[in-house]
């Protein structure tokens, strides 16, 4: 099925690994021009960039901190200047620093909100002007099942991801009149670097709570992201697409 993404210009934050990498490669496979943002792992970013180019797509890797307003503004302006437009923004960059609320430091709480929530806000704000000028665009925010259901030991992470839901719904209403759609994808437990270190006992208990009895894959998340970025979802905005194996409905 042709999703109509060929030659679209896409920015995927946190695009060097995990779900972000899967999204970047999926867009490249559809013929889009893909820019990946990364925080510090140059080797992983270059490897992903190489994979994008192997798919015959144009790619670019940009290192910047999504929690830095000036860096976000400069990144968006640079992409638009070089590529002429920015059609799709995927706010995927995120960090998790687990800890009980009575023990987690204020700095760790702030950092998670800065990256996971403020970063999405800053890039959305920066991309609004060029998308409004083009009178079209798609913004997809990666939230999490714990942002909806909560999870012991992840109060800060859950708060940041819950905030993304409110941001998504509010900005969707602001930008709908300019044909800019804003949606969120809420993954359940996915096979990524973040979940690879879960102890066997905890993993078994986790699977007992998932009706489909398995963890999801990064590709299953990227499938939802691509759909929301395409015109196949042209009448969908302000929504949260849950991809969690039935764990939370």
Structural domains of the chain ordered from first start: 9-237 (3.40.50.720)
Number of helices and strands in the chain (H, E): 10, 7
Among candidate residues 169, 173, 195, the one with its CA nearest the CA of residue 184? 169
> Is the predicted pLDDT of residue 194 greater than 90, yes or no?
no
**Percentage of the chain lying above the pLDDT 70 cut:** 100
The pLDDT, as a whole number, for residue 203 is 85
The pLDDT, as a whole number, for residue 196 is 76
| Cα angle for residues 11, 13, 103 (degrees, 5° grid) | 160
Backbone dihedral angles phi then psi of residue 11, each to the nearest 5 degrees:
-110, 125
- Inter-helix orientation angle 119-134/69-83, to 10°: 30
Residue 137 Rama label (left phi>0; alpha psi -120 to 50; beta): left
Give catalytic residue positions: 157
> Is the predicted pLDDT of residue 119 greater than 90, yes or no?
yes
3-class secondary-structure state, position 123: helix
> Is the predicted pLDDT of residue 1 greater than 90, yes or no?
no
User: What mean pLDDT, rounded, does the chain reach?
Assistant: 96
Rounded to two decimals, what is the model's pTM? 0.97
> Is the predicted pLDDT of residue 5 greater than 80, yes or no?
yes
The pLDDT, as a whole number, for residue 205 is 87
The pLDDT, as a whole number, for residue 201 is 86
HSE, side-chain direction, 13 A CA sphere, residue 180 = 27
What is the distance between the alpha carbons of residues 92 and 187, in angstroms, rounded to a whole number? 11
Q: What is the mean pLDDT of residues 122-131?
A: 98
For the beta carbon of residue 40, count every other beta carbon within 10 angstroms: 9
> Is the predicted pLDDT of residue 131 greater than 80, yes or no?
yes
- Dihedral sign from CA coordinates of 175, 176, 179, 182: positive
């Amino acid at each position: 099925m042709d999703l109509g993404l060929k030659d679209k210009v896409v920015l995927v934050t946190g695009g060097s690994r995990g779900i972000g990498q899967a999204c970047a490669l999926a867009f490249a496979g559809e013929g889009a021009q893909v820019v990946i943002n990364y925080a510090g792992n140059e080797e992983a970013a270059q490897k992903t960039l190489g994979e994008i180019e192997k798919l015959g797509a144009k790619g670019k890797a940009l290192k910047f901190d999504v929690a830095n307003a000036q860096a976000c503004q400069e990144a968006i302006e640079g992409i638009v200047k070089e590529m002429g437009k920015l059609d799709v923004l995927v706010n995927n960059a995120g960090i998790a620093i687990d800890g009980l609320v009575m023990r987690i430091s204020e700095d760790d709480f702030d950092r998670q909100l800065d990256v996971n929530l403020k970063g999405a806000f800053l890039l959305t704000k920066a991309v609004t002007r060029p998308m409004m000028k083009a009178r079209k665009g798609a913004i997809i925010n990666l939230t999490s099942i714990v942002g909806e259901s909560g999870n012991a030991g992840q109060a800060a992470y859950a708060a940041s991801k819950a905030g993304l839901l409110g941001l998504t719904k509010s900005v969707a209403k602001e930008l709908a009149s300019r044909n800019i759609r804003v949606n969120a994808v809420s993954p359940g437990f996915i096979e990524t670097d973040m979940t690879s270190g879960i102890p066997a006992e905890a993993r078994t208990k986790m699977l007992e709570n998932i009706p489909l009895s398995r963890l999801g894959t990064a590709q299953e998340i990227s499938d939802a992201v691509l759909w929301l970025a395409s015109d196949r979802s042209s009448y969908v905005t302000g929504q949260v697409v849950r991809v969690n194996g039935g764990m939370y409905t």
